[in-house]
Amino acid sequence: MYELRKVDKKFPGVHALKAIDFKIGRGEIVGLVGENGAGKSTLMKVIYGAYQPDGGDITIDGTKVRFQNPRQAMDHGIGMVFQEQSLITNLTVMENIFLGFEQQFVSFGVINWKAMSAAAKAQLAKVKLDIDPATITSSLSFAQRQLVELAKVLTLEERVDGDLVILLDEPTSVLAREEVELLFSLVRDLTSRASFIFVSHRMDEVLELSDRIYVMKDGEVVDVVGHDEADVDSIQHKMVGRDVDKEYYREQKQKPYQADAPPLVSFENVSAGTRYQNISFDLHPGEVLCLVGTEGSGREAILRTIFGLEAPSEGKVSLKGRVMSRFTAQNAVSLGVGYTPRERKVEGIVGGMNVYENMTLSQMRNYANRGGVLRISAEKDLAREWIDRLAIKTPDVYKDCGGLSGGNQQKVVLAKWRSGGSDIILLDHPTRGLDIGAKEDVYDMVREMSDDGVGIVLVADTLEEAIGLSHTIIVLKDGIAQKQFACEPGNKPSLFDLVHHMI
């Protein structure tokens, strides 16, 4: 019913979409996969009306349409559930649901809150969420917010005659596994009312949910696979255009860590308010320690404590044998802690600053004389060295980091810490939003650092990643350590082992 024919989109210097053919039938769930830069997001923007194609046709039930903006697309039943949390947190749930479409509840210029609340209740029922529509959104959990977003898009049902097409852009990225299950069953239920386009980096989820999968590469659809004939390897092969290493997580490169060496980080019965309690562990040189748990289980708070952003309320934290008393990021950095945050664009790199400026940001002292005057040529040399070493794709060292792709930004962040000699690296979702090639680069770097005797604390994007990469896993639930696993290659815990303790 919804179809793109030979849709083309060009940007200055980039041919983003090359004659794309795309089709979705009534009640169908279509997966869309591809590496970053393959054109997925451009395609989605064309579908929901944020971009206008340069060539080709869009038809709905055979009728040609052209959308000037998302609003017009919505009027044709096309809605988008955004990757980033797209609810406005200072508004109530019902206001978010009907944002931009309040007019139906307005009589004589006055909003009828009661009517809106009732209508919102009905929408929330569709996604089986039982909350007061007058709740301020900021007090909801991430999973609840995701469902509210879905409910918001589903308002199209009442507004639009005809069929709905709903785009789900990485809807699972902030969800725990059981929440993902809930979402999926919901989506399957809803196929009676709408078709879905599902975009995710988590290949297993795409395979699980989709009826058909479009595989994109370099702005083209390289294959369309049905649910039954799809398998991860062949799809990844098509996406990347080369063989994906069987040993995806570089298990074969995992070497034992230096368990006898003095620990780099040591927690002794550390608690931080309600975030986590009574946590103890040692991080040794060369060790990859993974904190596993659901969102809010205390993983991030522990990272923040090590980096000095959050002072613990009780217990003893030592870095390299020194008991910490003042918790500041400056302190941690000077002791060799490096932090690769999840919000790469916000906390990782400074958009607007170029490659070498970003790389030396944490270690400017090393590139300046005592008066604080920078040796810029030395900075550039450093940047060139690491651009080569990590194969960072950038035209030169003057490139604004905000304009680099996600994987290259991540490499810049890692280069920043590695080149500064940090030997305690905190990785918070280091592969989030990266395509397969870039992920593998990150995995390689993790092994490389581990070999160099760097201690790594990891909060992984997926459980597989956690299992594959780590020497040690600590499972957390509600801020309390549930179980610790040793993960020698060949003798790793299973997914089930972990999930069992997480929930």
Partner 1 sequence: MGTVLTRELLVKWAPLIVLIVLILFFAAMEPRFFSMRNFARIGISSAPALMVAIGVTFIIIMGSIDLSMEGTVSVCAVIFAFAFIAWGGTLASVAWLALPLALVVGGIVGLINGLVHVKLKIPSFMASLAMGFVGTGFALLLTGGDRIRVEDELFRGLLTTRWFGFPIMCYVAVAFLLIAWFIQTRTTLGRNFYAVGGGEDLAHASGLNVNRVRVMGFALAGVFYAVGALLAVGRIGIAETATGSNFMFVSITSVVVGGTALWGGIGGVWNTLIGVLIVNVINNGMVVIGLPGYVQDGVLGALVIAAVVLSTDRKSVTFVK
Partner 2 sequence: MDFERIKPHLPWITLLALVVIVGIADANFLRPQNLIAMAADIVPLFIMALGMTFAIYIGGIDLSAQSVANMTTVVATIALPTYGVGTALICILAGFVLGGLSGYVTTKLFVPSFISTLAIGGIAFSTAQWLSGQRALFMDATLRDNTFGWMTGNTAGIPHEIFIGAFLVLATYFLQSRTTFGRALKAVGAGEPAAVASGLNVTRIKIMAFALSGLLAAIAGLLFSVKLSGGSPTLANGFLLPAIVAVLVGGTPLTGGVGGVINTLIGTLIVAVIRSSMLYFEIDATKQQMVFGLVLIAAIALTIDRTKLRVVK
Applying CB under 8 A, which residues contact partner 2?
Answer: 307, 309, 328-330, 332-334, 337, 339, 341, 343, 346-353, 357, 360-362, 364-365, 368, 371-374, 376, 416
Interface with partner 1, residue 184, by CB under 8 A = no
Interface with partner 1, residue 368, by CB under 8 A = no
Q: Which of 11, 57, 66, 86 binds partner 1 (CB under 8 A)?
A: 86
Give Dmax over CA atoms of the chain in angstroms: 76
What residue 132 binds from partner 1, partner 2, none (CB within 5 to 8 A, per partner kind)?
Answer: none
**Is residue 154 a contact partner of residue 194, using CB atoms and an 8 Å limit?**
yes
CB of 276 to partner 1, least distance (A): 18
Q: Of the two residues 28 and 428, which places its CB atom closer to partner 2 in the complex?
A: 428
Interface with partner 1, residue 110, by CB under 8 A = yes
Q: Of the two residues 86 and 269, which places its CB atom closer to partner 1 in the complex?
A: 86
Nearest-angstrom CA–CA distance, 276 and 375: 43
Give 79's strand partners: 166
Interface with partner 1, residue 100, by CB under 8 A = yes
Nearest-angstrom CA–CA distance, 83 and 229: 28
Quickly list DSSP for 266-335.
EEEEEEETTTEEEEEEEE-TT-EEEEE--TTSSHHHHHHHHTTSS--SEEEEEETTEEP-S--HHHHHHT
Amino acid (one-letter) located at 159: R
Which conformational region is residue 399 in: left (phi greater than 0), alpha (psi within -120 to 50 degrees), or beta? beta
What residue 416 binds from partner 2, partner 1, none (CB within 5 to 8 A, per partner kind)?
Answer: partner 2
What residue 101 binds from partner 1, partner 2, none (CB within 5 to 8 A, per partner kind)?
Answer: partner 1
Q: Of the two residues 185 and 328, which places its CB atom closer to partner 2 in the complex?
A: 328
Interface with partner 1, residue 90, by CB under 8 A = yes
152-181 positions binding partner 1, by CB under 8 A: 152
CB of 364 to partner 2, least distance (A): 4
Nearest-angstrom CA–CA distance, 267 and 272: 12
Nearest-angstrom CA–CA distance, 43 and 53: 9
Nearest-angstrom CA–CA distance, 229 and 227: 6
Kindly indicate which of the ranges 108-116, 295-303, 335-343, 395-403 contains the residues binding partner 1, using the contact rule CB under 8 A: 108-116
Q: Of the two residues 114 and 246, which places its CB atom closer to partner 1 in the complex?
A: 114
Binding mask 412-451 for partner 1 (x = CB under 8 A): ----------------------------------------
**Is residue 264 a contact partner of residue 457, using CB atoms and an 8 Å limit?**
no
CA 251 to chain centre: 23
What residue 494 binds from partner 2, partner 1, none (CB within 5 to 8 A, per partner kind)?
Answer: none
10 Å CB burial of residue 5 (0-12, 13-18, 19+) is middle
* Chain contacts with partner 1 (rule: CB under 8 A): 50, 69-71, 74, 80, 82, 86-91, 95-96, 99-103, 106, 109-111, 113, 152
